[in-house]
């Protein structure tokens, strides 16, 4: 009977085009508005490291001021001092560990017509690629010794390799960063996690870096972070070495711990490290450190803010208003068809059959409304991309999951809207209409 | 075929209780053609609605084809209505946006017949009422008499044993009315039991038996001449 009810529904919709269009519009506008907001929230909630959520941890050490916390009453600094990062790198407990920060430089090529351009660079240890599961197209990461010793090597993103070398295998070839020559040792696949879970301090929705270079180059190139540089006391910094030994926090740190035992061992290691540092006058606050999984890292960094959540609820409230409108329209439409329902009852349709027929008609309205809602959502997201001038390009887009969710939401909304009108018409006394028709 | 014993039906509002049927007793045998007459408001339509399982009586016992229907739920009553009862209404009650084929298809859908069986039955019933060539026409494209014939075809398609007709000729001119009445008589001759409500004494006389309802009760039962002739034949 399902197919029969669908054919009756389509016939009914064609029979009352204006009323049907109003109902579809009510559902479509509600779904479009709510899905625009929900899509943004959904994309903001994505965890690109979900598959390693049980092994990866962002490391925090509370090296902040003695009299107050970094933020609020409890928050630790998001980043480490260079000195602490170097100390942690000496641990052999993590199977992989990454110290890193954002940087940038002018890229150019010898004997090339390509105009020099500024590239976003990640200065990092070699484990970055393995820890975050980034596959290589050509070559590989640099040698471990480059994490401590200056080696002028780089890994390029796929896009940068296409820009500089037309996508060819560029391993062994040379590029200039700020005029200094660097050798390409690897090219990675396209990798652009959104939100940028590994670096939420410098814009959660920015693109991944174009070039990656070894952490051991700091002293030689005197690399200053292009990200945050925060300190809690005034320090006399007269040269680069002073910065490296300062209280300033600017190095992001991630570890991969394969099991609970390793995590426990690492916690002991961090506690012992802080205790040791306290004896040297560092870490004036009570002993505190953090090992935070990627999923929790997204939450504590408030990638999806309370404002976004409230907007999500408001959009659903708007959908509810649209559903209430659809209820009124459906009631008008169905009750106009009450005589036909009376005839069907006389010919053998049960109340349940009449209810099902009309609920399926509501569902068909929802399906059409859902498709229209997707178009409105795409329009809304496109508007957001335009207004945000590229800042939200990564998240203001709809994937198949959200498209299916839009259809599902529309059908659910229309079924909810249809329950009362369908119940009303299935419970009317058929004999009233049979005599008066 | 139909047996009603002390059937009561009352409608209650906040201030008034109206008794549409009171101690209503009637038996209709298989193959009978019974006409029901009575003044407006006497309870004819209420009787027909109860007989057709569209309404439930307030009290009394109703046996349809030997089955007590008082304890049946909506689904069982609907199935019984679909399988055993055919309806013909004064206003035809065809669904205006369905063509003749699809109109006749309605009760067969609820019966659960497959497409092939439905098609066979629809074509046969349309042929029986002489409208086989108009299957794809909409009701509005037919005359009143033709529409009533389609309604009869729809009632016949399920091969019911019991046909309830509520003033089937009330909206037709005399020529059309005669044609429809002849068709009903023909159907009755095949063995279908018919109960027909009518205001027309001439049509009432053509039934085997006429009952008159006054103030919700059967006030008069008599064999018609036609019925007597049929009985003696």
Instruction: Give A437→chain B minimum CA distance, Å.
Output: 6
Higher pLDDT, A112 or A361: A361
Contacts of B51 in chain A (CB under 8 A): none
Q: What is the mean pLDDT of residues B95-100?
A: 90
Q: For residues A20 and A151, state if they share a domain.
A: no
Give kind and range of the element (H or E) at residue A196: none
Q: Which two tokens stand for residue A235?
A: 């320090």
List the single residue in A with minimal CA-CA distance to B44: A435
Q: Dump pLDDT digits (tens) for A368-390.
A: 999 999 999 989 888 888 886 56
Higher pLDDT, B170 or B69: B69
Q: For residues A284 and A146, state if they share a domain.
A: yes
The secondary structure of residue A90, as a DSSP letter, is T
Contact A348 B95 (CB under 8 A): no
Specify whether the CB–CB gap between B196 and B35 falls below 8 A.
yes
Q: What is the mean pLDDT of residues A29-55?
A: 88
Provide the pLDDT confidence category of residue B225 given band limits of 50, 70 and 90: very low
Contacts of A434 in chain B (CB under 8 A): 54, 87, 89, 91, 93, 166
Q: For residues A335 and A256, state if they share a domain.
A: no
Percent of chain B at pLDDT above 90?
20
* Confidence check: pLDDT of B233 > 60: no
Q: Which residues contact B44 (CB under 8 A, 6 or more apart)?
A: B36, B37, B38, B197, B213
Q: Which residues contact A359 (CB under 8 A, 6 or more apart)?
A: A415, A418, A419, A422
pLDDT computed for residue B226 by the predictor: 43
pLDDT computed for residue B223 by the predictor: 57
Q: For residues A136 and A284, state if they share a domain.
A: yes
Query: How high does pLDDT run on average in chain A?
Result: 90
Q: What is the mean pLDDT of residues A357-363?
A: 93
Q: Dump pLDDT digits (tens) for A280-295.
A: 989 999 999 999 999 9
Percent of chain A at pLDDT above 70?
98
Please state, in angstroms and rounded to a whole number, the distance separating the CA atoms of residues A100 and A226: 11
Among residues A243, A278, A300, the one where a domain terminates is: A300
Provide the pLDDT confidence category of residue A119 given band limits of 50, 70 and 90: very high
* Confidence check: pLDDT of A204 > 60: yes
pLDDT computed for residue A248 by the predictor: 93
How does DSSP assign chain B, residue by residue? Answer: -EEEEEEEEEEE-SS-EEEEEEEEEEEE-TT-EEEEE--TTSSHHHHHHHHTTSS--SEEEEEETTEE-TT--HHHHHHHHHHHEEEE-TT----TTS-HHHHHHHHHHHHT--HHHHHHHHHHHHHHTT-GGGTTS-GGGS-HHHHHHHHHHHHHHT--SEEEEESTTTTS-HHHHHHHHHHHHHHHHTT-EEEEE-S-HHHHHTSSEEEEEETTEEEEEEE-HHHHHHHH-
**Mutant choice from A3, A17, A346 vs B, greatest count of B C-beta within 10 A:** A346
pLDDT computed for residue B161 by the predictor: 87
* Confidence check: pLDDT of B92 > 90: no
Q: For residues A268 and A346, state if they share a domain.
A: no
Q: For residues A242 and A386, state if they share a domain.
A: no
Selecting from B49, B110, B166 the residue whose C-beta is nearest the C-beta of A349 gives B110
Q: Which residues contact B233 (CB under 8 A, 6 or more apart)?
A: none
pLDDT computed for residue B18 by the predictor: 83
Contacts of B40 in chain A (CB under 8 A): none
Q: What is the mean pLDDT of residues B76-94?
A: 88
pLDDT computed for residue B221 by the predictor: 59
Selecting from B83, B93, B106 the residue whose C-beta is nearest the C-beta of A434 gives B93
Please state, in angstroms and rounded to a whole number, the distance separating the CA atoms of residues B106 and A348: 9
Selecting from A15, A346, A352 the residue whose C-beta is nearest the C-beta of B54 gives A346
Q: What is the mean pLDDT of residues A27-53?
A: 88
Chain A within 8 Å of B29 (Cβ-Cβ)?
no
Q: What is the mean pLDDT of residues A111-116?
A: 83
Contacts of A340 in chain B (CB under 8 A): 95
Among residues A267, A300, A333, the one where a domain terminates is: A300
Range in A6-20, A357-371, B164-178 the model is least confident about:
B164-178
pLDDT computed for residue A325 by the predictor: 87
Find tokens 């009309």 and name the residue: A358
Contacts of A436 in chain B (CB under 8 A): 91
Q: For residues A113 and A231, state if they share a domain.
A: yes
* Confidence check: pLDDT of A212 > 50: yes
Selecting from B52, B74, B90 the residue whose C-beta is nearest the C-beta of A351 gives B74
Specify whether the CB–CB gap between A192 and A48 falls below 8 A.
no
Q: For residues A97 and A37, state if they share a domain.
A: no
Q: At what angle do helices A306-336 and A400-426 cross, to 10 degrees?
A: 40
Specify whether the CB–CB gap between B164 and B85 falls below 8 A.
yes
Give pTM, 2 decimals. 0.71
Specify whether the CB–CB gap between A351 and A6 falls below 8 A.
no
Q: Which residues contact B189 (CB under 8 A, 6 or more apart)?
A: none
How many domains is chain A partitioned into structurally? 2
Among residues A237, A267, A300, the one where a domain terminates is: A300
Specify whether the CB–CB gap between B105 and B115 falls below 8 A.
no
Q: Dump pLDDT digits (tens) for A71-80.
A: 877 789 999 9
Provide the pLDDT confidence category of residue A437 given band limits of 50, 70 and 90: very low
Q: What is the mean pLDDT of residues A124-140?
A: 96
Q: For residues A6 and A70, state if they share a domain.
A: no
Q: Dump pLDDT digits (tens) for B175-210.
A: 778 888 888 888 888 888 999 998 888 888 888 898
Q: For residues A116 and A204, state if they share a domain.
A: yes
Q: For residues A206 and A277, state if they share a domain.
A: yes
pLDDT computed for residue B39 by the predictor: 87
List the single residue in B with minimal CA-CA distance to A1: B109
Domain interval for residue A368: 2-45+305-436
Domain definitions of chain B by residue range: 30-55+73-232
Q: Which of residues 81-140 of B touch A (CB under 8 A)?
A: 81-83, 87, 89-91, 93-95, 97-98, 106-107, 109-111
Q: For residues A295 and A309, state if they share a domain.
A: no
C-alpha distances out from residue A339 to A290, A428, B96, B148, Å: 69, 10, 11, 17
ipTM of the complex: 0.86
Domain B30-55+73-232 architecture: 3-Layer(aba) Sandwich (3.40)
Task: Identify which of B38, B3, B4 has the alpha carbon closest to the alpha carbon of residue B210.
Answer: B38
Specify whether the CB–CB gap between A373 and A28 falls below 8 A.
yes
Chain B within 8 Å of A15 (Cβ-Cβ)?
yes
pLDDT computed for residue A176 by the predictor: 94
């Amino acid at each position: 009977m399902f197919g029969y009810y669908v054919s009756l529904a389509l016939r009914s919709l064609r029979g009352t085009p204006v009323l049907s269009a109003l109902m579809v519009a009510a559902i479509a506008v509600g779904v479009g508005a709510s899905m625009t907001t929900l899509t943004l929230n959904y994309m903001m909630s994505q965890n690109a490291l979900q598959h390693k959520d049980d092994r990866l941890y962002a490391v925090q050490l509370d090296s902040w001021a003695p009299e107050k916390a970094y933020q609020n009453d409890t928050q630790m600094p998001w980043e480490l001092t260079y000195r602490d990062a170097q100390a942690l790198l000496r641990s052999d407990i993590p199977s992989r560990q990454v110290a890193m920060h954002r940087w940038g430089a002018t890229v150019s090529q010898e004997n090339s017509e390509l105009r020099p351009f500024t590239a976003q660079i990640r200065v990092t240890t070699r484990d970055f690629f393995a820890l975050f599961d980034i596959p290589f197209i050509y070559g590989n990461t640099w040698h471990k010794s480059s994490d401590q010793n200056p080696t002028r090597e780089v890994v390029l993103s796929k896009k940068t390799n296409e820009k500089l070398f037309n996508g060819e295998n560029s391993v062994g070839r040379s590029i200039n960063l700020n005029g200094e020559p660097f050798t390409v040792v690897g090219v990675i696949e396209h990798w652009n996690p959104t939100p940028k879970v590994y670096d939420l301090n410098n814009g959660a929705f920015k693109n991944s870096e174009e070039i990656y270079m070894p952490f051991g180059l700091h002293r030689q190139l005197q690399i200053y972070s292009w990200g945050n540089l925060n300190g809690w006391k005034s320090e006399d910094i007269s040269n680069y070495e002073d910065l490296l030994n300062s209280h300033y926090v600017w190095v992001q740190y991630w570890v991969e711990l394969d099991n609970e035992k390793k995590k426990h061992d690492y916690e002991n290691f961090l506690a012992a490290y802080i205790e040791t540092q306290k004896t040297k006058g560092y870490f004036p606050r009570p002993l505190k450190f953090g090992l935070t999984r990627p999923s929790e890292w997204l939450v504590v960094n408030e990638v999806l803010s309370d404002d976004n959540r409230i907007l999500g609820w408001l959009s659903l409230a708007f959908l509810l208003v649209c559903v209430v409108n659809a209820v009124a329209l459906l009631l008008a439409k169905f009750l106009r068809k009450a005589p036909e329902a009376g005839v069907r009852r006389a010919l053998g349709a049960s109340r349940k059959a009449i209810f099902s027929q009309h609920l399926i008609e509501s569902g068909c309205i929802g399906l059409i409304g859902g498709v229209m809602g997707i178009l409105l959502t795409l329009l809304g997201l496109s508007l957001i991309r335009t207004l945000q001038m590229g800042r939200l390009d990564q998240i203001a887009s709809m994937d198949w999951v959200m498209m299916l969710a839009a259809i599902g939401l529309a059908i659910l909304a229309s079924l909810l809207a249809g329950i009362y009108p369908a119940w009303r018409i299935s419970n009317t006394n058929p004999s009233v209409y049979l005599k008066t028709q | 075929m139909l047996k009603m014993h002390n059937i009561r039906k009352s409608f209650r509002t906040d201030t008034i209780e109206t008794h549409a049927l009171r101690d209503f007793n009637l038996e209709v045998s298989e193959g009978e053609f019974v006409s029901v007459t009575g003044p407006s408001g006497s309870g004819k339509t209420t009787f027909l609605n109860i007989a057709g399982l569209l309404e439930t009586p307030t009290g009394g016992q109703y046996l349809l084809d030997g089955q007590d229907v008082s304890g049946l739920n909506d689904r069982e009553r609907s199935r019984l209505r679909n399988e055993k009862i055919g309806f013909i209404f004064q206003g035809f009650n065809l669904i205006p946006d369905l063509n003749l084929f699809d109109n006749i298809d309605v009760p067969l859908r609820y019966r659960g017949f497959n497409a092939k069986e439905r098609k066979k039955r629809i074509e046969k019933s349309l042929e029986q009422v002489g409208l086989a060539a108009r299957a794809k026409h909409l009701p509005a494209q037919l005359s009143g008499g033709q529409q009533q014939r389609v309604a009869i075809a729809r009632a016949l398609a399920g091969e019911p044993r019991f046909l309830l007709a509520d003033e089937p000729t009330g909206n037709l001119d005399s020529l059309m009315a005669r044609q429809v009445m002849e068709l009903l008589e023909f159907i009755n001759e095949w063995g279908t039991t018919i109960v027909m409500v009518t205001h027309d004494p001439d049509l009432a006389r053509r039934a085997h038996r006429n009952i008159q309802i006054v103030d919700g009760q059967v006030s008069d039962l008599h064999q018609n001449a036609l019925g007597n002739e049929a009985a003696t034949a």
